[in-house]
Amino acid sequence: MLTDFAKAYLRISMSNILLTGGAGFIGSHIAVELRKAGYVPIILDNLSNSLDSAVDGISKITGRKEVLHNIDCRRENEVVDLIEKVGGISGIVHLAAFKAVGESVQNPSKYYDNNIGSMGSILRVAEKFCVEQFVFSSSCTVYGSPQEAEVTESTPMGNAYSPYGYTKQVGERMMIDLVKAGVKTKFVSLRYFNPIGAHPSAWIGEFPIGKPNNLVPYICQTSIGLRDELTVYGNDYNTRDGSCIRDYIHVCDIATAHVKALDYMLKPTAPQHDVFNIGTGKGNSVKEIIDTFKEVNEIEFKVIQGSRRPGDVAAIYANNQKAQSILGWHPEYTLADALKHAWNWQKTL
Ligand code: WQD
């Protein structure tokens, strides 16, 4: 006769979780944490912004042979075939999307087609398989340019400052409408702030295809000599040093929040839709990131001053109390840890 604990363990250990974008920077770290928690990550990625070698790194960390399924989320039939092949899924963690704010301003149709198209397809799959748990990779960019730099989940969604941010607003609204239409899946949106760093093992990390859009990978590539200099976009913002302020959070802390969200949705008391800020609760400026990176890694690199980048907001950082109190999640790594781990990863490339 199985005890309740054994039944729970058996259920979780048999819980396939479809992880879209699972070979990507954040997705690969989530795959590791899912495995660690007893879930089974079904890694799906079309490799448009990731490398299949990421799965080797995941396998090295989990000690199991993880499998990458090279599928585009918008090919719904292929996703359905995969799920039937693996024997069903109990949850979905949906990350597959393009995520560069600046790039989305230059190429909005690429973002609308991929981010919203993928979301529509994966939501239809969730309905078809009566999935219990759906975690959506949302973003602090849904807040637009907030009145106050510190945002809570009740801060109104402003006008998205970029097409990228708008695709995340639309994604959250799509889930709310499905709940209203009677879909029984439970949904959680995790509004990431700025994910940085790499796994402490340096087996997985961020691997931008082409020129990095984001600050920390650009700093890393400049430090290793792949880029001549780093440009600071804007020094006339209304912030303590004129450069933009963001909430930079270790990617491993982002990853653990997904396991907490999946566990939370298993509770009968969990609402059908919920939203959490996933950030450190602290803001740092671009110039502070540059100085901290140089200090903790004892390295120098060239920095030049440039004009503002379209789509950037001056300052935003998380109030993360809700995720701490309801999910039982809290960030475990410091900014120095993240910048050291980012540099350690860069040196392996
Ligand atoms: C940060 C700051 C730039 C590059 C990211 C993700 C997005 C979302 C939010 C999760 C800005 C400045 C950058 C450079 C610079 N996260 N910068 N020189 O735009 O806040 O968005 O976090 O969903 O997915 O993209 O991050 O790293 O691009 O920029 O001065 O070479 O660094 O202007 O002020 P952003 P970022």
Please check whether residue 111 lies inside any domain of the structure: yes
Parallel, antiparallel, or unpaired: how do β-strands 245-246 and 284-285 relate?
Answer: antiparallel
* Atom 27 of ligand 1, residue of closest alpha carbon: 214
Parallel, antiparallel, or unpaired: how do β-strands 40-45 and 133-139 relate?
Answer: unpaired
Please check whether residue 52 lies inside any domain of the structure: yes
Ligand 1 contact via 262 beta carbon (within 6 Å) = no
**pLDDT value at position 3?**
66
Parallel, antiparallel, or unpaired: how do β-strands 150-151 and 133-139 relate?
Answer: unpaired
Phi, psi dihedrals of residue 105, rounded to the nearest 5°:
-70, -40
Q: Which residues of the chain have pLDDT under 70?
A: 1-14
**pLDDT value at position 7?**
59
Ligand 1 contact via 79 beta carbon (within 6 Å) = no
d(CA 72, CA 135): 18
**pLDDT value at position 6?**
62
H helix count then E strand count, the chain: 13, 15
Alpha carbon of 66 to ligand 1 centroid (Å): 31
**pLDDT value at position 209?**
81
Q: Which 3 state secondary structure label does DSSP give 221?
A: helix
Compute the Cα dihedral for 340, 217, 43, 68 and give only its sign. Answer: negative
Domain count, the chain: 1
**pLDDT value at position 210?**
87
**pLDDT value at position 4?**
67
Burial of 28-54, coded b for 16+ CB within 10 Å and e otherwise, reads bbbbbbbbebebbbbbbbbeebbbeeb
* Atom 4 of ligand 1, residue of closest alpha carbon: 215
Ligand 1 contact via 346 beta carbon (within 6 Å) = no
Ligand 1 contact via 213 beta carbon (within 6 Å) = yes
* Atom 14 of ligand 1, residue of closest alpha carbon: 215
Can you give the residue range of the structural domain that contains 40? 4-195+250-279
Identity (one letter) of the amino acid at 253?
D
For the CA of 219, the closest atom of ligand 1 is 31
Candidates 39, 111, 143, 164; catalytic one: 164
Catalytic site residue 39?
A: no
Question: Which CATH number characterizes residue 48's domain?
Answer: 3.40.50.720
**pLDDT value at position 16?**
96
d(CA 165, CA 346): 28
Which strand (E) or helix (H) includes residue 169? helix 163-180
Q: Which 3 state secondary structure label does DSSP give 275?
A: strand
CB-CB contact of 232 with 287 (8 Å): yes
d(CA 197, CA 205): 7
Ligand 1 contact via 141 beta carbon (within 6 Å) = yes
DSSP 8-state secondary structure symbol assigned to residue 156: P
Please check whether residue 296 lies inside any domain of the structure: no
**pLDDT value at position 101?**
83
Alpha carbon of 127 to ligand 1 centroid (Å): 34
**pLDDT value at position 90?**
94
pTM over cut 0.75: yes
